[in-house]
Amino acid sequence: MENSINNGEFAVDIEELVDDLQAVDFELEDLACILRIMERHERFDFGAPGALVHLLERFYKRGYEELLLESIARKPTSHTVWMLNRVINGIKNSKNLVKYIRVMRDVSDDTMVDDAARKAAQHFLGLHTWSLLMEEGIDGSILFLNRTHSCSFHLQSLQSP
């Protein structure tokens, strides 16, 4: 895969690559390798989301999220930040939501992060109707700052599960 990226042939090879990966026993360790390739090629367009991301997302709730967070901790890219946003969109549990929003917020605030990744994180935070105000209130509740369409703000407290 990396040779295809370096040769500019990746778009042609992506369907074939995904077919080959599906034909073998594609495992979580393979997912980690693909994330590392994404880190090394931070400016490459891997699709929107693309067949490769769909393949990786087959491991959703089976280790995908943790490997994605590890990748973002090593070297966030605009594509892995976008993948994190897809995870956030599927979160139903407020405690998990805090965890992933915190990562997104940290990327958006980190001036040492690649500019494209940081701007992507800022963009995705802005798409949501809320952003993290505090991780945990005194009473154990999770506090969010909700932004309404009229640009006024109010606090919402969500009880931790």
- Give residue-wise pLDDT tens across range 146-159: 443 333 333 444 44
3 state DSSP class of 49:
coil
134 with 124, same domain: the answer is no
Domain boundaries, position 42 = 2-128
Confidence class of residue 7 from pLDDT cuts 50, 70 and 90? low
95 with 157, same domain: the answer is no
CB 123 within 8 A of CB 137: no
137 with 104, same domain: the answer is no
Tell me the whole-structure pTM to 2 decimals. 0.74
pLDDT averaged over every residue in the chain: 76
82 with 21, same domain: the answer is yes
Tens digit of pLDDT for each residue in 96-146?
A: 887 898 899 899 999 999 999 999 999 998 876 454 444 444 444 444 444
What is the count of structural domains for the chain? 2
60 with 91, same domain: the answer is yes
